Chains A and B, each alone.
Chain A
Amino acid sequence: MKKSLMWLLVMILAVSMIATFSLIGCKEKEAAPEEEVVTPPPTEEVGEEVEEVEEVAPSTEVLVYHYYTAGDEKAAMDAVIALFEETYPDITVIENPVAGSEAMVSILETQFYAGEPPDVFISADLIRTADWVRAGLILPVDDVWEELGLNDALNPNLASMPALTYEDIHYGIPELTAYESGIIFNKHIFDNVGIDPTSLTTVDALMDACATIKAAGYTPFAMGSQWLWALKFPFVDAVLLKGGVDKYKAFYTGEITADDPAIREALEFFANTAEYTNSDHTAFDWDGACELVVSDQAAMYVHGSWAGGWLKTMGFEWEVDMGIIPFPGLGDYFVMDGNLWSVPRFCEHPDAAKKFIQVAGSVEALSLELVPRDSTIAWRTDIPATGLGPITTDILEIQANASTPVPSAQCIEGTDVAFVNGVQGILQTLLIDGDVDAAVNSLVELRNTVFGEEGE
């Protein structure tokens, strides 16, 4: 009797395992887009589909992927989620914070392939998000866009950002943006060496200041290149300085190579900053570089303006301990990135997801976010100025004085994620070995690989 029972149990186990595997297989087949590009439906169909979704799938939870894991960013995200849960108490938010936008995008890529994406995600890697839009993997959000009044409220400088609109259909709801062509400075160090940071309006003045700061025993530029993307900021500034916006965009879209004199000059300038940069930059990330500033070891940090918010979290006070100036010679440019909320087409709770981005993109949510995230600005222009912090206020002033909006490298229409990341790898080598010729050769080769046969 016992023996028969055991056999029965074994058979049940085996059959259920086979059934499980079969079900997994079926689900993959059903959900995975295989190697077929899904064509985005026309607007009319989109509207119908959304209505259908709302009727069929009442949601009780929403899975949100974001990269706001610590400090001011986490506080801002917590505020948005609290507002959403207050607005929709029947919907539970399940957060999945992933450290770093780059890592999150890699995870999302495989989830899209498996047909199991989250309900909502935010992305700063807009080129990759734009690929997903073109592949038909992102739900149109025209209805939310209308509700939020974004046609009137969107900052026109940001209207052409990738992944926002494709074939006149909106696919993303904008969140915040940051200023990327400024220098955050440590006021104590500048006071100690007797230099007024606002006097650094030319590159020569900047380099002279670096020499003085170094002679006084400080590190002029903080850098943390463990994640390579931090190297992008000084290099983009150098390219803009030597070649202007046209050369900058042409370089990142493969229209010109690193052989171009302007790019070579930019590389030389970048290599020359090595002597003024902490030599252990590969040991830590951008927040580690912030620690060098906050501990009075480094005088300046060429990075996105969110570093100011991070320094504030670490106890630095705006205008007392730190400040920001445009990179010398780039006062007319306002380099900016963008964070965009998107809803994947095959997500489990599209209805709840749309409700979430409607809340997240509202004036109320963005105003709440900007309290802790003083150092970023909203894509919307109708955020009441009364609640803005001093860093955001200063950045808005810099924006008002700049005549040319410039997209960050990963937001240039026509660039490629492989090129942007590849450039950063080569920049790290250049900062270590100072070999400009080798860097030029590597960049030319990279450009040919990405935008040549392989890139097509």
Chain B
Amino acid sequence: MDRKTKFFIFLFLLPAIVGLGLYAYYFSGWNLSISMTNARSLIFPAKFIGLGNYWRFLVDPVFITVVKNTAIFTVLFMGGALLLGLLFAILIDQGIKGERLYKVIILIPMAMPMVISGVLWSWMFSPRMGVINSLLRVLHLDFLTQPWITSTSQALLCVIIAYIWVFSGFVALLYLANIRSLPDEQSESARVDGASKFQLYWRVIVPQLRPATVMAVAVLFLNSLVAFDLVWPLTRGGPASSSELLGTFMYKQTFQWNFFGYGAAIAQIMFIISVVVMVPYLYRSIRRR
């Protein structure tokens, strides 16, 4: 590669490098510096307190609740989205009529702004006027009506259901692409050997869906960690912190309570967790190439 080519490659990359440097690395560094201060405002001067905010998070009474909720949310959301996504992918793979339409339908939730999805689900789950309870009442199944988002034991579940609804279409398309990329000969051989459809998918196709699964897990995990935009209009982390996640807790501390230093520390913790998960994934992906 001659110098001229190298120069132009660099020139091509320069806008991206500048953008990434400014919006990702510079602001990450800025956030780190704020997280080590007692900043109560972005305007007033703040005092350096080292790792004080990180310690404060560990001893915060809400810490256990937030971490527990985030863990439950992550596991159930990822599990639900993967299973439902796989189911959708297999159904679409049957060569049914109107395949494109189904693909569009399952992708619509992903295309909608999360805030809109949150508002929609708040109308679904509203115990008094919500669609679900109203439907149950119309069907004379009043005994099945639930308090949904107003219940401390059901609010988190409502959030999980809404998130699964949004992401399962995306997962389905990942799986479908993976399934369609598998050689037809394997399926043919299995059929010739007398495998049923269930056996074909369970024993031949699903074990080969690892690349799509790894990719989906990475994306879903990151989204579960930064979950906020759908939770906020739906439950605002309540009632009584019952659906509080790292994202909502960070937002409240920063923008409602003005603990900017503390909020930055929580954001930094979220960043560290995502790095810990993503680095091995990226390392493996690069090595495989």
Residues of chain A whose beta carbon lies under 8 Å from any beta carbon of chain B: 7, 10-11, 13-14, 17-18, 21, 25, 33, 35-37, 102, 106, 109-110, 112-113, 128, 131-132, 135, 137, 226-227, 279-284, 416-418, 421-422, 425, 428-429, 432-433, 442, 445, 453-455
Contact = CB atoms under 8 A, between A and B. Distances in A.
A13 B15 contact: yes
B18 A279 contact: no
10 contacts: A14-B11, A14-B12, A18-B15, A21-B18, A113-B42, A137-B43, A282-B149, A417-B258, A421-B257, A445-B61
A432 B258 contact: no
The 9 closest A-B pairs by CB, nearest first: A113-B42, A429-B240, A418-B257, A282-B239, A106-B255, A17-B15, A280-B150, A35-B45, A280-B127
Nearest to B4: A7
B169 interface: no
Nearest to B235: A282
Contact of B18 (A17, A109, A131, A442): A17
B51 to A, nearest CB: 15
Nearest to A134: B44
Contacts of B122: 283
Contacts of A13: 15
Contacts of A137: 43
A18 B150 contact: no
A110 B42 contact: yes
B128 interface: yes
A454 B258 CA distance: 11
Contacts of B12: 10, 14
Interface in B218-258: 235-236, 238-241, 252, 255-258
A126 to B, nearest CB: 15
Contact of A21 (B8, B19, B46, B127): B19
A454 B38 contact: yes
A280 B257 contact: no
A114 to B, nearest CB: 9
Given A131-B43, A135-B43, A454-B259, A432 B152 contact: yes
Contacts of B46: 35
Given A281-B150, A421-B257, A433-B240, 5 more contacts: A13-B15, A18-B15, A33-B43, A112-B43, A421-B256
Contacts, number: 109
B11 A428 contact: no
B240 A36 contact: no
Contacts of B148: 283
B268 interface: no
A226 B15 CA distance: 43
Q: Chain B at the A interface: mostly helix, strand, loop or mixed?
A: loop
Interface residues of B, number: 40
B50 interface: no
Contacts of A418: 40, 257-259
Nearest to B22: A21
B147 interface: yes
B15 A14 contact: yes
Contacts of B252: 421, 425
A291 to B, nearest CB: 9
B274 interface: no
B134 interface: no
Contacts of B125: 283
Nearest to B45: A35
Nearest to B11: A14
B11 A11 contact: yes
B248 to A, nearest CB: 12
B256 A283 contact: no
B189 interface: no
B126 interface: yes
Nearest to A429: B240
B261 to A, nearest CB: 9
A112 B127 CA distance: 40
Nearest to B126: A283
B62 to A, nearest CB: 10
Contacts of A417: 256-258
A37 B255 contact: no
Contacts of A14: 11-12, 14-15
Nearest to A131: B41
Interface string B254-289: 011111000000000000000000000000000000
Contacts of B147: 279-280
A14 B259 CA distance: 39
Contact of A283 (B8, B44, B127): B127
Nearest to A103: B255
Contacts of B22: 21, 25
B255 A109 contact: yes
B95 to A, nearest CB: 44
A283 B257 contact: no
Contact of A102 (B127, B128, B150, B256): B256
Contacts of A453: 38
Contacts of B240: 428-429, 432-433
A156 B19 CA distance: 54
Given A13-B15, A17-B18, A422-B257, A284 B126 contact: yes
A7 B122 CA distance: 52
A7 B8 contact: yes
A192 B43 CA distance: 55
Contacts of A25: 22
A283 B258 contact: no
A135 B40 CA distance: 13
B236 A226 contact: yes
A6 to B, nearest CB: 10
Contact of A432 (B42, B236, B239): B239
